[in-house]
Amino acid sequence: MNALLLTGGRVVDPASRLDESADVLIVAGKIAAVGRDAAAQAPADAERLDVAGLVVCPGLIDLHVHLREPGQSAKETIATGTAAAARGGFTSIVCMPNTSPAIDNAGTVALIREKAQREGVVNVFVAGAITKNIAGEELAPIGSLKQAGVVAITDDGHCVQNNDLMRRALEYAGMFGLPVMDHCQDYSLVTDGVMHEGYWSMALGLRGWPAAGEEMIVARNILLAELTGTRVHCQHLSTAGSAQLLRDAKKRGIPISGEACPHHFVLTDAAVAGGEKFWPADGAGIFGFRPGASDLPAWPSYDTIFKMNPPLRSAKDREAILEAVADGTIEILCSDHAPHCDYEKEVEFDYAPFGITGLETELPLAFMQFYHAKRLGLTDLIAKYTVAPARLLGLAKGTLKPGADADVTVLDPDREWVYEREHSASKSVNSPFYGWPLRGKAVFTIVGGRVVWREQETAVTV
C-alpha cells in the first residue's frame, strides 16, 4: 500500500477551520490522518516529506480554465494545461466549453473526461455549454450534459443575451441541480469595445467596453436567480458596480455568487498605456515586499498582452474588487487561464484575441494582494481556492478531512521568485507577468496521494 507522510507543516484546512502544526498521512490515495499522532499510524515503508516551515492545505481548485481541447491544441492541450495547473499548485480545474467543437453534448464531455484521465496531470472537471454551439439561440441538452458528468453550465467567452432563454436555462439547470456560471457581457452596450471605457480608452483612441456592459448582466442574473431559485455564478467580475450589486443581492438571500481573477485585482487600464504610465499611476504598492524596487517590469503602450475580456478596469474598480473579495462578497478566486498563440497576439490591439494565461501566477498574485497586503488571513484566502469552489460545484474536494481524496497543496507563502517564460509548462506564453518579482509559491502539488509536481525541479527561486 503506498503511503506518504507530510511532517511538520502548518496545516490549514478552511473546511474544518483547522490551522495548526500537524502531520498529514496519506494512504492509498486518501487522507488517512491529520494531527500530531498521524506519524504513529504511518506504515513503516511510508515515504516521508519534511514540510516544516510550509503550509499544507487542501489541493487548490481553479474553476475557470480554458484547456482549448478539442480543436485548438496549438494554444494548449489537456496535457500542457494540467501541467501548468500542477506547477501553480492546483490539483483540480474546471475546463470551459468554448472549444471547437463546443462542449455542448454528452459525446464531447466523454471525450474530454477520457482524455483527461489518460493525459491529465491533475483532476479535470468539465463545464458544459448553456446553448448549442454557444450561439445563444437554442438550449444545449442540459439533462444529458449532467448525465455525462458536467459540474456546471456556462457559455463563457459569450453571454446569453436573450433573457427568456436564460430563464429557461436556469429552470432546467435547477431541475438537474446544476449551477449556471455566466460571463456577464451585454452586447448592445459593449459592441466592439476592446478596453475599459474611461480616461485611458479616450487617451489611447481605443473603443471602450463600459462597466455597465458587465453590470447590466449581473443585475439580470440577480433577477433571474431570484425568479427561478437556481444559483447563478457570475464569472470574472471586474467592476465596482458588479461588486455592489452582488453584495446587495446576497444580503437579500438571492442564490448568486461571483469570482475574481488576479489581473482584475492587480492591474488597471493604465497598463494598456504602458509600464511607464502604469507604475506611477496605479502600480504603487504591488511590490510592497520589496522596498524601493528599482527594476520594475516595463512594457510598451498598446501591448495586446493586456487585452482581456472583461477588460482591465480603473483603479477605483480594482479597489472595489479587492474589497469585495476581502469582505466575502466574492467568495471564489480563479485564473480565467486563456492561452493564445504568439502570432495571434502579435497584431494591432483591435485585432488581438482577449485573454491571458494565469494558472502559474494566480497563487502568488493572490497572496501578494490579500495575504501579504493584510486584507485576508491564510484560512480565508485558502477557502476561496478550496472549500468555496467545491461547495458551489458540489465537488467532493477541497478538504483534508480523513477519508477525503488526497489532493494536497504544500505552499510557501513567503517564497520570492521571478516568473520566467522558460519555466512555464503552458503551451502559450501570453502572460503579462513574466519578469515580475512574485511572493508565494506552491512547493509540492499532490493529486490522489501522488506528488505530481515539486518545486525543486525548477530552480526558479531568487
Residues lying near Zn ion in the complex (CB under 5 A) are found at: 156, 183
Q: How far is the CB of 235 from Zn ion (least distance, A)?
A: 5
- For residue 126, what is the enclosing H or E element? strand 123-128
Of 12, 72, 59, nearest to 396 by C-alpha is: 59
Q: How far is the CB of 237 from Zn ion (least distance, A)?
A: 11
Question: What residues are paired with 55 via a beta bridge?
Answer: 10, 411
Return the amino acid letter for 399. T
Query: Closer to Zn ion at the Cβ: 122 or 184?
Result: 184
Q: Which residues contact 113 (CB under 8 A, 6 or more apart)?
A: 124, 126, 148, 149
- Residues labelled catalytic: 336
For residue 383, the SS3 value is: helix
Closest residue to Zn ion, judged by C-beta, is 183
Q: How far is the CB of 323 from Zn ion (least distance, A)?
A: 22
Q: How far is the CB of 187 from Zn ion (least distance, A)?
A: 14
For residue 447, the SS3 value is: strand
Q: Phi and psi of 442, rounded to 5°?
A: -75, 140
Q: How far is the CB of 213 from Zn ion (least distance, A)?
A: 13
How would you write 11-48 as a 3-class SS string? EEEHHHCEEEEEEEEEECCEEEEEECCHHHHCCCCCEE
Q: How far is the CB of 450 from Zn ion (least distance, A)?
A: 32
Q: Which residues contact 164 (CB under 8 A, 6 or more apart)?
A: none
Of 426, 420, 306, 419, nearest to 357 by C-alpha is: 426
Q: How far is the CB of 298 from Zn ion (least distance, A)?
A: 28
Q: Phi and psi of 38, rounded to 5°?
A: -60, -35
Query: Closer to Zn ion at the Cβ: 337 or 415?
Result: 337
> How many CA atoms within 13 Å lie on the side-chain side of 128?
30
In 172-298, beta strands by DSSP E? 180-182, 195-196, 208-209, 232-234, 256-260
Query: Closer to Zn ion at the Cβ: 183 or 220?
Result: 183
Sheet holding 332-333, edge to edge: 60-65, 90-95, 123-128, 152-153, 180-182, 232-234, 256-260, 332-333
Query: Closer to Zn ion at the Cβ: 22 or 61?
Result: 61
First to last CA, the chain: 38
| CA distances to 58, 64, 270, 388 from 392, in Å | 16, 13, 34, 6
For residue 399, the SS3 value is: coil
| CA distances to 141, 447, 462 from 89, in Å | 34, 10, 19
> How many CA atoms within 13 Å lie on the side-chain side of 65?
32
Q: How far is the CB of 183 from Zn ion (least distance, A)?
A: 4
